[in-house]
Amino acid sequence: MTVEVYRKSIPTEGNGHILDITREVADAVADCSLTSGLATVFVTGSTASVTTVEYEPGLVADLEEAFDRLYPRDKPYRHHETWGDDNGHSHVRATMLGPSLSVPFVDSRLLLGTWQQVVLIDFDTSPRQREYVVQILG
């Protein structure tokens, strides 16, 4: 088995900012020495997640509204008491969605559906520089 690792950094706006990182992940797969295998995308940090969506404005808005219904920003979170901060909802949202995603690839191309994009979601309360890792196995 061969493993290749690519690290990427991307600025985010926080507060549920959704970024389409499909092209960057696909480029990492295309640039590696492997032609088939599995690409795992992992975001570092406990207030961000990686998943797939149909990346279009309506669904982006729908996701934000769904997270607001399920994990409201204005609810009192015990995390706030522990650290004196305001991002308890960010941690809960990120935990529920998860920090990683694995996508198979063949012929150096991700096997995503037609309307399926890889996205990074930053749930924290302020902009930041996020790092994610693409680990390619084959």
**Distance separating alpha carbons of residues 102 and 40, to the nearest angstrom:** 4
> What pLDDT digit, counting tens, does each position of 8-52 carry?
999 999 999 999 999 999 999 999 999 999 999 999 999 999 999
**Distance separating alpha carbons of residues 11 and 128, to the nearest angstrom:** 6
Please report, for the chain, the start and end positions of each structural domain, with discontinuous segments joined by +: 3-137
> What pLDDT digit, counting tens, does each position of 47-105 carry?
999 999 999 999 999 999 999 999 999 999 999 889 888 999 999 999 999 999 999 99
CATH assignment, 3-137: 2.60.120.460
What global pTM score does this model have? 0.95
